[in-house]
């Protein structure tokens, strides 16, 4: 009996650094995306009473929103302040930069399911099952959160409103400048064009 306890305790000590990282992922808490302002923006441009503001996330921003400082992709927040009397639409295809699909973003942010096996081997099946449930709960929270923040589908910016979204871009596809267009909600082929710096 003493020998088994000693082995499990040793396993726990050996895995403490490993478990610290996964525990952080499991504590993922969604946070409301705060609009970029002229004070916090890297750049902004205005056309026909519509202002587009951009901000590249810092490691501190990543930590605040995603519980992780270093990501495989570069998050850039876009805030659109529509002071006009018309509705405008931002869609992924209106940006001349390839965006990372949400599935890949989720894979980077989600805790590793394979760790549950390590938990089970070190601490027994009950701990492994507990980790699996916590993993599923954390993943669901991440899916819902990123689904509301990531520009995966067209985003309508009503007249007189502000809207924000995050563009996830691979480092190799990151350009010094990009062209972003807003399409009119009711008039086909009517667009506003903005040229913005990404870094």
Query: Do 52 and 77 meet the contact criterion of CB atoms below 8 Å apart?
Result: no
Query: Does 197 or 8 have the greater pLDDT score?
Result: 197
Residue 54, pLDDT above cutoff 50 = yes
Query: Does 96 or 126 have the greater pLDDT score?
Result: 96
Q: Report helix, strand or coil for 130.
A: helix
Residue 60, pLDDT above cutoff 70 = yes
**Global confidence as pTM:** 0.76
Q: What is the pLDDT of residue 22?
A: 52
Query: Do 109 and 142 meet the contact criterion of CB atoms below 8 Å apart?
Result: yes
Q: Sorting pLDDT into bands at 50, 70 and 90, what band is 133?
A: low
Query: What does pLDDT average to over the chain?
Result: 81
Q: What is the pLDDT of residue 108?
A: 86
Q: What is the pLDDT of residue 134?
A: 64
Q: What percent of the chain has pLDDT over 90?
A: 51
Q: Report helix, strand or coil for 128.
A: helix
pLDDT digits (tens, 9 = 90+) for 153-176: 999 999 999 999 999 999 888 888
Q: What is the pLDDT of residue 5?
A: 42
72-84: average pLDDT: 96
Q: Sorting pLDDT into bands at 50, 70 and 90, what band is 18?
A: very low
Which segment of 7-11, 60-64, 72-76 scores lowest on mean pLDDT?
7-11
188-198: average pLDDT: 90
Long-range CB contacts for residues 114-120, cutoff 8 Å, separation at least 24: 115/18, 115/19, 115/22, 118/15, 118/18, 119/19
Nearest CA to 28 among 153, 142, 151? 142
For residue 101, how far is the Cα from the chain centroid?
11
Query: Does 183 or 25 have the greater pLDDT score?
Result: 183
């Amino acid at each position: 009996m003493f020998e088994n306890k000693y082995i499990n305790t040793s396993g726990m000590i050996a895995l403490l650094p490993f478990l610290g990282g996964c525990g952080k992922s499991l504590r993922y808490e969604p946070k409301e995306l705060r609009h970029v302002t002229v004070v916090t923006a890297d750049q902004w441009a205005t056309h026909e009473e519509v202002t587009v503001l951009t901000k590249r996330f810092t490691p501190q921003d990543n930590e605040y929103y995603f519980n992780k400082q270093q990501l495989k992709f570069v998050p850039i927040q876009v805030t659109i302040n529509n002071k006009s009397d018309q509705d405008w639409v931002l869609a992924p295809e209106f940006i001349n930069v390839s965006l990372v699909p949400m599935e890949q973003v989720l894979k980077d942010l989600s805790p590793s399911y394979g760790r549950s096996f390590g938990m089970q081997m070190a601490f027994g099946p009950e701990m492994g099952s507990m980790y699996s449930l916590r993993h599923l709960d954390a993943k669901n929270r991440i899916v819902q959160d990123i689904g509301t923040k990531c520009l995966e589908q067209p985003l309508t910016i009503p007249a007189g409103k502000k809207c924000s979204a995050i563009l996830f871009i691979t480092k190799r596809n990151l350009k010094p400048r990009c062209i972003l267009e807003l399409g009119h909600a009711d008039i086909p082929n009517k667009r506003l064009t903005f040229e913005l710096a990404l870094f």
